């Protein structure tokens, strides 16, 4: 269960992050050209805005700029695997999601915090992040990523001891993966279902699911992952 693939693809959303505001339809100007709303027609850099003139209108735009700065810090910490650095800003997650320019940025935010919680073994919080990501990915019609996120939710609910929740989410992942022939997630889902069955004492069903995963492995294109899946299956059989 190597996570973070989505982060690698989506963290580039930082480059186009724009907070909704008064600088035209797109929001505030980039930091190098940022000006405080109503203070002056002259553009100024963020550091200049933080001087005396900035104090007069910090209630109108300082909060927006703070959220933008936080996202840059979160993204930088995520890229360098500084998970404690990411989680230091967890209290700003809702503001980040509300201010995100689009769904791609929301996926990146949820992935950054989800991976950070994974690395710090906070399984319930991981599941919560990826449950929300599932909805965003569905809106974007990124069904392969959506199925993978469902499998992540199931895995971490199982780790958190929520067997019923884990079974519900892995069933969703399996259905979506089979519908779209996502063989990697099919294999993951069958393994997870098999492990859940064995955990609950349903030996025959568990073995059947693990054997089904073996039949799907040959269609998994990533050889490294296929070998990992095979070892996982053989360990649990």
- Considering just the CA atoms, what is the radius of gyration of the chain in Å? 22
pLDDT at 56: 53
| Number of neighbouring beta carbons within 10 Å of residue 42 | 7
pLDDT at 96: 92
Q: Is the pTM of this model over 0.75?
A: no
Per-residue pLDDT of the chain (237 residues; tens, 9 = 90+): 333 444 444 455 444 443 444 333 333 333 333 344 444 444 455 555 555 554 554 444 445 547 788 888 998 999 999 999 999 999 999 999 998 889 999 999 999 999 999 999 999 999 999 999 999 999 999 999 999 999 999 999 999 999 999 999 999 999 999 999 999 999 999 999 999 999 999 999 999 999 999 999 999 999 999 999 999 999 988
> Which stretches within the chain are classed as H helix?
5-10, 46-49, 52-55, 58-79, 83-87, 93-99, 103-119, 123-140, 143-159, 163-180, 183-199, 203-217, 223-236
């Amino acid at each position: 269960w190597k996570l973070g693939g989505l982060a690698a693809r989506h963290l580039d959303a930082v480059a186009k992050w724009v907070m909704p505001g008064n600088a035209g339809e797109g929001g505030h100007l980039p930091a190098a050209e940022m000006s405080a709303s109503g203070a002056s027609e002259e553009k100024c850099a963020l550091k200049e805005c933080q001087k005396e003139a900035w104090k007069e209108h910090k209630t109108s735009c300082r909060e927006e700029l703070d959220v933008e700065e936080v996202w840059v810090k979160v993204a930088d910490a995520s890229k360098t695997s500084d998970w404690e650095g990411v989680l230091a800003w967890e209290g700003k997650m809702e503001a980040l999601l509300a201010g995100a320019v689009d769904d791609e940025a929301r996926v990146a935010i949820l992935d950054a915090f989800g991976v950070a919680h994974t690395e710090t073994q906070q399984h319930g919080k991981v599941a919560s992040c990826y449950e929300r990501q599932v909805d965003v990915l569905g809106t974007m019609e990124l069904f392969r990523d959506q199925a993978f996120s469902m499998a992540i939710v199931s895995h971490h609910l199982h780790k958190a001891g929520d067997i019923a929740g884990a079974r519900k989410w892995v069933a969703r992942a399996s259905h979506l993966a089979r519908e779209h022939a996502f063989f990697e997630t099919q294999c993951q889902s069958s393994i997870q279902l098999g492990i859940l069955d064995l955990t609950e004492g349903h030996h025959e069903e568990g073995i059947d699911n693990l054997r089904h995963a073996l039949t799907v492995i040959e269609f998994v294109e990533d050889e490294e992952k296929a070998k990992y899946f095979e070892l996982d299956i053989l360990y649990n059989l």
